[in-house]
Structure 1
């Protein structure tokens, strides 16, 4: 029984998540011959304030210009 865990920074709509689940399930059925009923997928959305890269929070990196809390641009 395949168990797939997907972590995403930010959020996705219900329709986007449904499409991801469908795509991943179909891939496992096609490529590995798995029973679609046995494929389990968990999508975890990570807040941009709880995810960092390159030494700064993604929330700060992606802040619009003029935001007093945004990291200085380089």
Structure 2
């Protein structure tokens, strides 16, 4: 799951990525916090965990990963 939420407190756009466990266990509620101000964005249920980062940082890392794919190794 990938979801975008804007923080009501600092107005940072956050990208939330759910990391599920390979072998599913009991699902629990987790507080999803803003990557900048730590304000609670939502409460989500998962058997894994959530990775939260600003949209700006997410797009930068996505661009870096794309560039890595273009590297030609001799």
Same fold by TM-score greater than 0.5: no
Q: TM-score range by the shorter chain?
A: under 0.3
Structure showing the higher helix proportion among its residues: 1
**More contact order relative to length (CA 8 Å, sep ≥ 6):** 1
Larger Rg: 1
Larger proportion of strand: 2
With normalisation by structure 1, the TM-score equals: 0.22
